[in-house]
């Protein structure tokens, strides 16, 4: 067993050896600017083109439909604002969900300041968004719908294809296009991210969630989707995202994405077995355990639970002392623990929400580690409950 147990893979992941190896030459000898016309630059350009082709193969898209960005936050911002600005004359209404990542929710808040109207759909109690709720939120002036593929806190997987179908049907009735974006940041390596199977027009990814480097991601934009770039500058990325590309990061991301897809089925099976063992052992060993979100449509690596009467903060500190890294479902802002907006939207009480613990596994997690975590959690929950 390693010195610590890392169960926060939804927050970030270590880089894969293949991704590091692919990145290295672009940090040293291949350091040219891909927009330079001499051979050093053109060599970097070839690396960039190959990376784009690799990503496109995994997404089932055209290489030209991929725009490299600095990560999930930028992709979500660019997708929502890019389409909203481009479609302003058609309509200024956007539909999204109350359980999106803040990268999306804070971008739509900015759009609201600019006069756009946004409908935030509430999930069902199990954390799922029903296609019917999307259908009834669409108005005559709706130009964009954004629903995440998998939730980063509770791991629920949304019925993206069914949602896409109802959007298309409604758009036909209204006789104007409604574009569909998904934040698929948590999906690579666990779910298929084929853009045609999902039926999406835009999709956000972030490399550091699938064993690539931090600070690099991509936005898929289906050909023909109206899009106004929100970053002004040079003509990079076919004038959709200005700024010199992070060539080394992009090359590493493309290799990590290919690897994640190649190992997806095998790794998902491994994670499901470990996740189910963890859920079952925790429920068996500890009283008053609540599982947050459906078990059925859930990422293979996500466990989100609340222990009755226990705040997550002291529990996380106790786990840290034991060398176990996990996170709470709550965002800590300015020293005060705000209950998670996701759990709140599911109508989970603030008390249970403040008690939530997210353990996100990886295919490298071992049974031995799971046993250790169950043992430590059961001791710590008992100890903290006694102190209260």
Q: How far is the CB of 301 from ligand PLP (least distance, A)?
A: 13
CB of 328 to ligand PLP, least distance (A): 14
Which region holds residue 234: left if phi is over 0, alpha if psi is between -120 and 50, else beta?
Answer: beta
Question: Would you say 76 or 201 has its CB closer to ligand PLP?
Answer: 76
Q: Tell how strand 179-183 and strand 142-146 pair up.
A: parallel
Nearer to ligand PLP, 101 or 264 (CB): 101
Residue 127 binds to ligand PLP (criterion: CB under 6 A): no
Determine if 365 is a binding residue for ligand PLP (CB under 6 A): no
332 counts as catalytic: yes
Dihedral class, residue 70 (left if φ above 0, else alpha if ψ from -120 to 50, else beta):
alpha
Closest CB to ligand PLP belongs to which residue?
A: 72
CA distance 246 to 202: 21
Residue closer to ligand PLP by CB (options 8, 322) is: 8
In the complex with ligand PLP, the residue whose CB is nearer, 68 or 307, is 68
For 182, what's the count of Cα atoms within 13 Å in the CB-facing half-sphere? 31
CA-nearest of 192, 240, 248, 247 to 220 is 240
Window 191 to 230, contacts with ligand PLP (CB under 6 A): 206, 217
Where in 196-323 does DSSP place strands (E)?
Answer: 202-206, 217-221, 289-291, 302-307
Q: State the Cα–Cα distance between residues 95 and 212, nearest whole angstrom.
A: 31
Minimum CB distance to ligand PLP, residue 12 (Å): 8
Site string for ligand PLP, 144-183 (x = CB under 6 A): ----x---x------------------------------x
Burial of 240 (0-12, 13-18, 19+ CB in 10 A): buried
Q: Which is nearer to ligand PLP, 13 or 177 (CB)?
A: 13
CB neighbour burial string for 46-60, b if at least 16 within 10 angstroms, e if fewer = ebbebbbebbbebbe
| Locus of tokens 């050093």 | 40
Count of residues touching ligand PLP (by CB under 6 A):
13
Out of 48, 66, 103, 316, the residue judged to bind ligand PLP by CB under 6 A = 103
Site for ligand PLP in 62-101 (CB under 6 A): 71-73, 76, 101
Residue tagged 């106004």 (tokens): 228
Please identify, using beta-carbon distances, which residue of 148 and 154 lies nearer to ligand PLP.
148
Catalytic residue among 55, 271, 283, 332: 332
DSSP string of 87-112, one letter each residue = TTTT--EEEEETTS-HHHHHHHHHHH
Closest Cα to residue 58, out of 160, 243, 203?
A: 203
Q: Minimum CB separation from ligand PLP for residue 60, in Å?
A: 21
CA dist 70 and 124 (Å) reads 33
Q: Which is nearer to ligand PLP, 271 or 286 (CB)?
A: 271
Q: Shortest distance, CB of residue 315 to ligand PLP, whole angstroms?
A: 21
| Shortest spacing between CB 268 and ligand PLP, in angstroms | 18
| Per-residue tokens: 289 | 């355990």
Using CB under 6 A as the binding rule, the residues of this chain from 323 to 362 that contact ligand PLP are none
Task: Report the interface residues with ligand PLP, using CB under 6 A.
Answer: 71-73, 76, 101, 103, 148, 152, 183, 185-186, 206, 217
Q: So which residues are the catalytic ones?
A: 332
């Amino acid at each position: 067993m390693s010195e610590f147990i890392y169960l926060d893979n939804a927050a970030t992941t270590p880089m894969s050896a293949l991704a590091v190896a692919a990145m290295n030459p672009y940090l040293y000898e291949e350091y040219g600017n891909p927009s330079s016309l001499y051979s050093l630059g053109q060599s970097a350009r070839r690396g960039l083109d190959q990376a784009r082709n690799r990503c496109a193969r995994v997404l089932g898209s055209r290489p030209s439909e991929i725009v490299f960005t600095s990560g999930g936050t930028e992709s979500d911002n660019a997708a929502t604002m890019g389409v909203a600005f481009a479609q302003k004359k058609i309509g200024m209404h956007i539909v999204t969900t109350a359980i999106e990542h803040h990268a999306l929710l804070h971008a739509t808040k900015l759009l609201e300041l600019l006069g756009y109207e946004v409908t935030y759909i509430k999930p069902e109690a199990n954390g799922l968004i029903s296609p019917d709720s999307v259908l009834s939120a669409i108005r005559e002036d709706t130009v964009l719908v954004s629903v995440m593929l998998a939730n980063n806190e509770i791991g629920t997987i949304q019925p993206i294809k069914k949602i896409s179908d109802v959007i298309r049907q409604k758009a036909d009735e209204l006789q104007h296009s409604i574009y569909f974006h998904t934040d698929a940041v948590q999906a690579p390596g666990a779910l298929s991210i084929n853009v045609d199977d999902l039926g999406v027009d835009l999709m956000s990814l972030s490399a550091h969630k699938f064993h690539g480097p931090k600070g690099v991601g991509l936005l898929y934009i289906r050909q023909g989707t109206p899009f106004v770039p929100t970053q002004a500058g040079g003509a990079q990325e076919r004038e959709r995202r200005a700024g010199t590309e992070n060539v080394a990061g992009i090359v590493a991301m493309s290799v990590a994405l290919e690897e994640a897809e190649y190992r997806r089925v095998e790794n998902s099976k491994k994670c499901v077995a470990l996740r189910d063992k963890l859920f079952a052992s925790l429920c068996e060993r500890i009283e008053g355990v609540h599982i947050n979100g459906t078990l059925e449509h859930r990422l293979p690596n996500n466990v989100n639970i609340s222990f009755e009467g226990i705040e997550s903060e002291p529990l996380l500190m106790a786990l840290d002392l034991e060398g176990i890294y996990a996170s709470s479902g709550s965002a800590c802002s300015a020293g005060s623990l705000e209950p998670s907006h996701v759990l709140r939207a599911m109508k989970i009480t603030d008390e249970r929400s403040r008690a939530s613990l997210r353990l996100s596994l990886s295919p490298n997690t071992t049974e031995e580690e799971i046993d250790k975590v169950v043992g430590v959690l059961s001791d710590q929950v008992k100890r903290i409950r006694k102190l209260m």
